[in-house]
A = this chain, B = another copy of it.
Amino acid sequence: MHAADRIRIVLVGTQHPGNIGSAARAMKTMGLHRLVLVAPERFPHADAVAMAAGAGDVLDAAPRVSHLAEAVADCRLVLGCTARSRRIALDELLPGDAASRAVATAAVSADTQVALVFGRERTGLDNDELQLCHAAVTIPADPGYSSLNLAAAVQVLCYELRMAMLGLRALAPAAAAAPAPDGDVPASHAELEGFFAQLGDTLDAIDFHKGRAPASAMRKLRRIFLRASLDDRDVRLLRGVLADAQRMARLAGERGG
């Protein structure tokens, strides 16, 4: 089951170390072992070890990094678990669809790493962190009482990942088709961020914003392109278009200057 080696669970800013241990246990029962901790408040900690029960090896192997961007730098698919729809309008997936997509992406090659990201117990993921995600995953909790424990949410997602890895869930055609539309490798996080940076520069160069704050337009454009599941060739093509628009803007500036 090689997909399990390419799917990591990322916990961001976890406040209670016991939850890190419980999450490790939840992962291991479902055959997953790659845990990454982003700025945990207290770790290592005896509570984490106690709650991990027999999953101490998952804890011991977990790298710690400072920012989510580091944790997902080499990932082709980043899914952020959120309690409900947020200000940032990402596509929202159900856990089963998210798992199908994650496993299908991880199955493409050893190079197609996938991350499922879980935020802080109280406040979840912040907007900057959600910007790094290709889509959101939402467990359809009762709106009247939606406070799943962090480890419980990890358990549900890992259970769906296992069902998908075992082929026990019929693949939704859309989920199966999404990651690599024509058999190409999905663009990596770094490639996408390079493209978005150049897109931002190009909007400046062609004076798209005209004094308005650029954040809103960039957010919408990110959403459009993340939804399109770009592969590396798509990114190269789009960056070629941007390069020519930038060249033209430079020319206009030089000739005007």
Contact = CB atoms under 8 A, between A and B. Distances in A.
Interface string A175-215: 10110011000000000000000000011011110000000
Interface string A142-183: 101111110110011001001100101100111101100110
Q: Is the interface of A mostly helix, strand, loop or mixed?
A: helix
A55 B145 contact: yes
Contacts of A241: 203, 206, 208, 221
Contact residues on A (Cβ < 8 Å of other chain), bracket: 35 or more
Contacts of A54: 145, 147
A173 B228 contact: no
A247 B210 CA distance: 13
A255 B152 CA distance: 63
Contacts of A205: 248
A255 B251 CA distance: 9
A7 to B, nearest CB: 14
Contacts of A208: 240-241, 244
Interface in A223-257: 223-225, 227-230, 233-234, 237-238, 240-241, 244-245, 247-249, 251-252, 255-256
A149 B22 contact: yes
A247 B97 contact: no
With a 10 A CB-CB cut-off, give which of A30, A207, A256 has the most chain B CB atoms: A30
Contacts of A141: 29-31, 162
Interface string A87-103: 00101111111000000
Task: Name the 4 nearest CB pairs between A and B, nearest first.
Answer: A174-B174, A255-B255, A31-B142, A251-B252
